[in-house]
């Protein structure tokens, strides 16, 4: 390896995030829309977020 570090990302569905955070699926979708408007890249059929963002 030439010193390359790769960031690992976990792909969560809106339902999985809702379950992890104990919130409604629609709430996750609303927040993902707000994040997208703020410049975050959101996949339409999947939600890609860093695991560090889902800490309880």
Q: Within a 10 A sphere around the Cβ of 5, how many other Cβ atoms?
A: 6
Distance CA 54, CA 24 (A): 15
State how far the Cα of 34 lies from the Cα of 38, in Å rounded to an integer: 6
The single residue listed with the structure tokens 């339902």 is: 15
Q: Which residue has the higher pLDDT, 13 or 39?
A: 39
Residue 56, pLDDT above cutoff 50: no
pLDDT number for residue 26: 92
Q: Mean of the per-residue pLDDT values for the chain? A: 76
DSSP assignment of 6-27 equals: ----EEE-HHHHHHHHT--HHH
The 10s digit of each residue's pLDDT in 20-42 is 999 999 998 898 889 889 988 77
pLDDT tops 70 at residue 13: yes
């Amino acid at each position: 390896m030439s010193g390359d570090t790769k960031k690992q990302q976990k792909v969560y569905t809106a339902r999985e995030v809702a379950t992890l955070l104990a919130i409604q699926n629609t709430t996750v979708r609303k927040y993902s829309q707000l994040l997208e408007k703020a410049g975050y890249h959101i996949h339409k059929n999947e939600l890609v977020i860093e695991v560090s963002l889902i800490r309880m």
